[in-house]
Amino acid sequence: MLSTILLLGALPFATASPLASASSFAGSTETALYPPPSATFSAFDTFFPDAEQVGFAGPTPTGDEAEAVATAPAAPQKLDTYPLLNPLTEHTGETPSFNPLRYWGNLSPWYSVGDAFGLPDATPQLPKGCELTQVHLLHRHGARYPTSGDVPSQFAEVVNKAATTTGFEASGPLEFLNTWTYKLGAELLTPFGRQQLYDLGVAFRVKYGDLLKGFTKLPVFRTTSEARMVDSALQFAAGFFGVQTYQQEYYELIIIEEDGFNNTLAPWNACPVSNGPLYNLGTDAASKWAAIYLKDTVPRLQKYIKGIELNVEDVVAMQELCAYETVALGYSAFCDLFTEEEWKGYEYGNDLNFWYSDGPGQPTTASQGIGYVQELVARLTQTPLTSFETSLNSTLDGNNVTFPLDQPIYVDATHDTVISTIVTALNFTSLAANGPLPTDHIPKHQTYFVNQIAPFASNLVAQVMSCPASAVTSSRSSSKESYIRFLLNDGVVPLTGIAHCETPNKFGLCPTADFIKGMQQRIAEVDYNFDCFANYTLPMPDTLTNGRIIQ
């Protein structure tokens, strides 16, 4: 039966009042609460028995498990964002060639990136002759409302204050602001975000369900304790196992996400330096770039608004409102305000923010992600963890019940910034090949894109497979060996930056034993105590591409 280990009381839900009538002032906040406070499920539950009580289910024979990554002739592609609307569709009636939803950085919905990482011969499908033996999934939560007090709500306050104290008036493309109200909650998943994780669970069952035959006991999947994290994990499980049975088919380990608790899926709490001035490096870099790419945008939009003196931060907030309103409400009038070049500029601002705060240009990044790498090596080698000097949780990671080592399928839910730190800790150097990122222009041959690394519902998959040498090299040998490779949002990532995996392979494969050696070397070279507790001197050098300062 599904177990919620270390769940501290009831999960927090959005605090809201009953549906409020729209204020006459632009920028005011509308909130709603469902179910209505007066409605209780128990009041009439005897009138609505569940399916087991009703019976008459009809025939219920189950079919065999799917393994589409091995049996399908081609890999399915995740390209649509139904029921969200590409803003440009409204004007053309057709699917436009430019899709703004792909340029929202970590606020973009995930999509299949194809051969974006430089391996045109590799797809998610297993190479011919290979057999899947194990799979590891690390996924981000689905689309959510903004974090509490973030810039979208701040912009709404600016508009509302102007509407109540000055001669506020908006015209032309900004005319909608005259009656616009702020309808976004905070932190929780949006309906589309719930759909994303349910769909991901369904797709994962279709691709990898056959591995369930290798379980001798119920799986343990993991998430953190924040409401959107638990919701994402449950939505995934409902899609993977089915809504009627998922609560009896696995254990959900909920790891506390809070100061004072070690958690590899939320490692910043165990790395205090990462939460100080160092974390502002990304914000500062993005701000420098915003002043450049929005230099002409601010005066262009200012012509259509009175009572507010727009600045760069306001316009960035409008771009964020486009993203957040779209993933929450299906469409946003803010999206129509910006050109293709301005959206590309917004994406690059997100790339800069992640690069210098949570990516290769941040000296604590590798240490933050190294805890998950230690867990991965333990799972691959079936070796219990005994040293807990990083973000590992000795209580949970040291227990073979809460941290089993014999599962064919592993599923972990985490955050965008954590995926960014983990791919840095794994030393996926192909993603950082064009770094460090400049703050005054977009480089021609950019390789680091947040919309490909950590969008909403981003998923990193490690496929472990048994392949004959003839399937991997030009050898005619039929002897089989274990290999591993990684898919990031369906794109196969080259492992050439990992020690012992340097020899290029067109399928992205590395012998598992060599990969483990490379990860053990990476773990040894990361000095967690220095990286997370050192007294850094600012400004930092902007030459880092490895997620740490090499000592």
Model pTM score: 0.93
- Residue 271 has what pLDDT? 96
**Dist CA 35 CA 39 (whole Å):** 6
> In this predicted structure, what is the pLDDT of residue 15?
36
The whole-number pLDDT of residue 95 equals 64
Distance CA 448, CA 354 (A): 9
Q: Which residue has the tokens 């592993």?
A: 410
In contact, 315 and 349? CB cutoff 8 Å = no
Token representation of residue 523: 């773990």
Round the average pLDDT of the chain to a whole number and report it.
92
Higher pLDDT, 352 or 537: 352
Name the token pair of 486. Answer: 């990684």
Scan for tokens 């009538």, then name that residue. Answer: 21
Whether 24 has a pLDDT exceeding 60, the answer reads no
Q: Is the pLDDT of residue 290 over 60?
A: yes
The predicted pLDDT at position 46 comes to 86
Set out the domains of the chain in order of their start, with CATH numbers: 8-17+66-128+139-165+185-533 (3.40.50.1240)
Structure-token match 């917004």, residue found: 346
The conformation of residue 427, written as its DSSP 8-state character, comes to: T
Q: Give the Cβ contact number of residue 443 at 10 Å.
A: 14
Per-residue three-class SS string for 232-256: HHHHHHHHHHCCCCHHHCCEEEEEC
Q: Is residue 5 over pLDDT 60? A: no
Q: How far apart are CA 402 and CA 22, in angstroms?
A: 48
Q: What is the model's pLDDT at position 4?
A: 42
Residues 6+ apart with CB under 8 A from 261: 255, 269, 393
Taking a C-beta distance cutoff of 8 angstroms, is the pair 236, 189 a contact?
Answer: no
Asked whether residue 144 carries a pLDDT value surpassing 70, the answer given is yes
H or E segment and range at residue 486: strand 480-488
* pLDDT tier, 11 (very low <50, low <70, confident <90, very high otherwise): very low
Taking the CB of residue 54, how many other CB atoms lie within 10 A of it?
9
Question: What is d(CA 302, CA 217) in angstroms, rounded to the nearest whole number?
Answer: 62
| pLDDT grade for 165, boundaries at 50, 70 and 90 | confident
16 pLDDT above the threshold of 70? no
Q: Are 349 and 316 in contact (CB under 8 A)?
A: yes
Q: Which two tokens stand for residue 202?
A: 């369904």
- Reported as a pLDDT band with limits 50, 70 and 90, residue 193 is very high
Q: How far is CA 40 from the centre of its chain?
A: 35
Q: What is the pLDDT of residue 18?
A: 35
Q: What band does 3 get if pLDDT is binned at 50, 70 and 90?
A: very low
Q: What is the DSSP string of 304-344?
A: TEES----HHHHHHHHHHHHHHHHHHS--GGGGG--HHHHH
The residue that leads in pLDDT, 31 or 133, is 133
- Chain segment 47-74, per-residue pLDDT in tens: 888 888 999 999 989 899 999 999 999 9
Residue 88 confidence (pLDDT)? 73
DSSP state of 345: H
Q: Tell me: the pLDDT tens digits for 339-390?
A: 999 999 999 999 999 999 999 999 999 999 999 999 999 999 999 999 999 9
Q: Is the peptide bond before 436 cis (omega within 30 degrees of 0)?
A: yes
**pLDDT at position 28, please?**
87
Structure tokens at 299: 């005066």
Greater confidence (469 vs 321) lies with 321
Is residue 473 pLDDT above 80, yes or no?
no
- Contacts for 50 with CB less than 8 Å, ≥ 6 apart: none
Region 174-184 average pLDDT: 96
Mean pLDDT of 251-261: 97
Q: Which of 517, 389, 532, 516 is nearest to 464 (CA)?
A: 516
**Whole-angstrom Cα distance, residue 26 to residue 378?**
55
Share of the chain above pLDDT 70, in %: 93
Q: How confident is the model at residue 25 (pLDDT cuts 50, 70, 90)?
A: low
C-beta atoms surrounding 535 within 10 Å: 5
Condensed to tens digits (0 to 9), the pLDDT of residues 104-116 reads 999 999 999 999 9
Query: If you compute the radius of gyration of the chain from its CA atoms, what whole number of angstroms results?
Result: 24
Residue 346 Cα distances to 37, 104, 290, 297, 354, angstroms: 41, 7, 8, 12, 13
- In this predicted structure, the answer to whether residue 94 has a pLDDT above a threshold of 70 is no
Gap between the Cα atoms of 226 and 207, Å rounded: 28
Look at residue 429 and give its three-state secondary structure.
helix
pLDDT digits (tens, 9 = 90+) for 399-455: 999 999 999 999 999 999 999 999 999 999 999 999 899 999 999 999 999 999 999
Q: Is a pLDDT exceeding 60 seen at residue 199?
A: yes
Tokens of 291: 């002043």
* DSSP assignment of 71-140: HSSS-------TTS--TTHHHHSS--S--GGGGSGGGSBP---TTTTS-TT--SSPPTT-EEEEEEEEEE
Type of residue at 277:
P
